[in-house]
Amino acid sequence: MTDPILDIKDIHVSFDTPDGPVDAVRGVNMKVIPGETVAIVGESGSGKSQAMMATMGLLADNGTVRGSAIYRGTQLIGMSKSDLNKIRGAKITMIFQEPMTSLDPLYSIEFQICEPLRVHGGLSKQAARDRALELLELVQIPNAKDRLKAYPHELSGGQRQRVMIAMALANNPDLLIADEPTTALDVTIQAEILALLADLQKRLGMSILFITHDLGIVDAFADRVYVMRAGQVVEEGPAEQIFNAPREDYTKLLLGAEPDGTKDPVPETAPMVLSANDMVVTFSSGGGFLGGKLREVKAVKDVSLSLQKGQTLGIVGESGSGKSTLGRAILQLLPSDGRVVFADNVISGLSRHQMQAYRRDLQMVFQDPYGSLSPRMTVGEIVTEGLLVHEPGISAKDRDRRATEALRAVDLDPAVRRRFPHEFSGGQRQRIAIARAVILRPTVMVLDEPTSALDRSVQKQIITLLRDIQTELELSYIFISHDLSVVRALSDTVMVMKNGEVVEHGSTANIFNAPTSDYTRHLMRAAFDLKSVLKEHANTIA
Amino acid sequence: MIRYILRRLLGAIPTLFLVVTVAFFLIRIAPGGPFDAERALEPTVLANLNAYFHLDKPLYEQYFRYLGNLLQGDMGPSFFRRDFSVHELLADGLPVSMLLGSLALLMAVVFGSILGCIAALRQNSWIDYTVIAIATFGITVPNFVVAPILALIFGVALNLLPTGGWGGGHPANLVMPVIALGLPQVAVIARLIRGAMIEALRSDHVRTARAYGLPTRMIVVTHSLRAACLPAVSYLGPAAAGLLTGSIVIEQVFGLPGIGREFVNAALSRDYTLVMGTVIVIAVFVLIFNLIVDILYAALDPRVRYE
Ligand SMILES: Nc1ncnc2c1ncn2[C@@H]1O[C@H](COP(=O)(O)OP(=O)(O)OP(=O)(O)O)[C@@H](O)[C@H]1O
Ligand SMILES: [Mg+2]
């Protein structure tokens, strides 16, 4: 066997918290050999991300690392910052789990892609810009040339993630560490990006170490797999072996955790709770600081929908197709045209103040759990904030009890109330965001990618949780996701969107079993048959 | 951009008009009149004075007369210091206050940001604790306490600096007032920058910058400081307007002829026109600085760019 490019031995990570030390990673060993693709899977909070952060010297201030991580004969742990900086961003690059916040909001994407190119490669300004453009085209950002000057907030989550991928590939690294690299992407682009990575890997001999909760990707993409749980590796082996003959119970559990079941449709007589007609959302963007040309983009074009009590409407579609925008527009969180009726009241065009009366009934769980959780509030404060606004009468004790209930409902230890969001893993943050909405007992919940940051086993719990609260509170959901299997498990009806328009709209059974449009079929294949899609790509490239 | 500024300036006109109107009637509601404070005047003299200044006319007529004059740039004569026009008094006092204020502002920005940054970068070290202590002191101890203490130590006990007076704007006369005026602002800015900087240094995108091997200087200056300036910029808008239009306390303690002191005297002696003049000056400063803040903010943060 060739020498490993990265050899991690007995890595321990612990964090200092007000509640005492948290041992996030407890003696992890991992190896990556040149040209290999290694996947790390495991439940949320099992230490997957922190093991990688520790290796790269990126732990938060309260974290400490012990152990050894050797990159091509050099010890990374305890290395001086300036030496480490010769490797980070040049030889080893990273893609982070949080696409929404991993780019600096104050700088254009051109600036951010060029920075490492200029620092490590010593490229001239023009050369760096040319390369940045090339990279954006490589990761298939539409109109790459115009997008160079765009700021992160002008891009969708998936587009930001692709910018991150472009940054990661800029200096032709030896090793790419990717933390949920395609989680924010829709399935078709996910397939394209994975094919792209596989191709680059072949051409450049790059190794990939990636963290994912999507076993479909692991199956199609990885050579070897590490399964992590509670800070330790519980099983390790070639992908086929893990899938065909898992040894550990936990691995078996993970494999069996694909979302299943379908939702019983609501009776036709169920009352209508929400309807939206001819929704149009227009954004103007571009126009630099000193003026300049302004572009108008129609993010949502004439979309209509309706929702009955207890019903779930799934919205699927590629990134930038306007799913989240539509969700926000319906809840009047964005200026839009169109008529929205909630419980027989027209709520479109209401002032912010007038909307206040409906806010409690209409809750939203945002796509980006980190960005939407205020970093300076404790989890307890975040979860109960809405109660203070909407039920100011209840006592501090009752509030606390409700917070405990809500946190329990999303399977978090109520003792976490005094901790801050940055101390939680991606999946835990997502559960906090759900608890914050559920505590208000709303009527309609718009869930924007609520499970995309979660591993399958937790996802299954969240799906069960969402089903349970739906029956209990007769909630209606608008469920936005690019994860088709979750949508299938939860929705009565499904709407497929592309470029702000509805491509197809129908009952879940019809959309999944007998899709009528080419686009939907394409989507289904990328989601449920990734392996053959990747093979096809590899053949066309070869 | 130019269009934006013009639009904002035009938008300021109604605000200013509103301020003038409200101030005009508010001060008239206050009991007493401009000529009460002196020894009781002969009724005939008082009547003459009132007639001379048109105070015998109905209020609305006085208001329109004032507005008319104002539009021609005439703020009228001072009621109390009758030999001077309001214009002259402001022209005398404003440079004093502005010099004082801009020096204090400069001090606040320079020392506040440096201290805030250092404290954030050395979080929980003795430097950090010292900065926090200074900041807490600067914020909690009001300047009507700081100013006399400074004067007592450096003026009386050590006899290093003049205890008061303008001295024609001699630097020695400025040192203590500027420090007394600037210190609380240094404290506020240091705290704002420190907090925002710590948050920025912890953010996901700074982690990205570190993961891409950027040198510390770029991480701190490019990716943290710019974001850390934002709250300080918003704070500085109204604060700067306040500083430049004179501090009542500081000018009183150090006996400086700025418009802050003028304003108090004017208000106490019901010098209607002078009060109006000062109010207008302050309002104009506030509007201008709000505009500057918005422009600066947009220059720093692409997310709030206007069109
Ligand atoms: N700064 C911190 N302070 C305290 N605890 C932390 C901190 N950062 C992470 N943790 C804890 O470390 C553990 C491991 O987190 P990590 O981010 O590695 O999880 P993960 O396996 O990547 O999960 P996910 O799939 O949800 O992203 C979690 O329990 C988390 O709460
Ligand atoms: Mg993670």
Q: How close, in Å, is residue A125 to chain B by CA atoms?
A: 16
Q: Would B5 be classed as within a structural domain?
A: no
- Do the chains contact at A289 and B205, CB–CB below 8 Å? no
Q: What is the pLDDT of residue A371?
A: 65
Token pair 């892609």 in the structure block, residue: A113
Mean pLDDT value across chain B: 85
Of B3, B202, B212, the CB nearest to A88: B212
Q: Would B83 be classed as within a structural domain?
A: no
Q: Would B76 be classed as within a structural domain?
A: no
- Do the chains contact at B302 and A98, CB–CB below 8 Å? no
How far, in Å, CA of B180 to CA of B182, rounded? 6
pTM tops 0.80: no
Which pair of structure tokens corresponds to residue B214? 């950027």
Query: B269: exposed, middle or buried (C-beta count within 10 Å: 0-12, 13-18, 19+)?
Result: buried
Q: What is the pLDDT of residue A290?
A: 47
DSSP, collapsed to helix, strand or coil, labels residue A454 as: coil
- Answer whether A256 touches B (CB < 8 Å): no
The helix/strand count (H/E) of chain A reads as 20, 20
Q: What is the pLDDT of residue B307?
A: 44
Q: What is the pLDDT of residue B272?
A: 84
Amino acid letter, A128: A
How far, in Å, CA of A203 to CA of A198, rounded? 9
Q: What is the DSSP letter of B153?
A: I
Q: Would B23 be classed as within a structural domain?
A: no
Domains contained in chain B, number: 1
Q: Would B217 be classed as within a structural domain?
A: yes
Token pair 């003299």 in the structure block, residue: B45
Q: How close, in Å, is residue A362 to chain B by CA atoms?
A: 27
- Answer whether A120 touches B (CB < 8 Å): yes
**What residues in chain A have per-residue pLDDT under 50?**
287, 289-291
Q: How far is the CA of A45 from the centre of ligand 2 (A)?
A: 7
Q: Is the pLDDT reported for residue B182 higher than 80?
A: yes
How far, in Å, CA of B254 to CA of B235, rounded? 27
Q: Would B190 be classed as within a structural domain?
A: yes
Comparing CA positions, the residue from B115, B81, B72 lying closest to residue B228 is B115
Atom of ligand 1 nearest to the CA of A25: 14
How far, in Å, CA of A144 to CA of A139, rounded? 9
Give me the mean pLDDT over the B51-69 stretch.
Answer: 83
Higher pLDDT, B158 or B306: B158
Give me the mean pLDDT over the B245-269 stretch.
Answer: 83
Q: What is the pLDDT of residue A1?
A: 61
- Tell me which residue range forms the domain holding B215: 103-269+281-304
Q: What is the pLDDT of residue A47?
A: 92
Interface of B with A (CB under 8 A): 1, 3, 123, 199, 202-216, 218, 222-223, 226-227, 298-303, 305, 307
Q: How far is the CA of A48 from the centre of ligand 2 (A)?
A: 6
Q: What is the pLDDT of residue B165?
A: 75
Phi then psi for A151, rounded to 5 degrees?
A: -100, 155
> What ipTM was reported for this prediction?
0.79
Token pair 């006399």 in the structure block, residue: B148
pLDDT digits (tens, 9 = 90+) for B141-166: 887 788 888 888 887 788 777 777 77
pLDDT digits (tens, 9 = 90+) for B203-222: 999 999 999 999 999 999 99
How many other CB atoms are there within 10 angstroms of residue A454's CB atom?
25
How far, in Å, CA of A214 to CA of B190, rounded? 46
* CATH number for the domain that contains residue B166: 1.10.3720.10
pLDDT digits (tens, 9 = 90+) for B282-299: 899 999 998 999 888 888
Q: Would B29 be classed as within a structural domain?
A: no
Q: Would B10 be classed as within a structural domain?
A: no
CB burial of A64-78 (b: ≥16 within 10 Å; e: otherwise) equals ebebbbbbeeeebbe
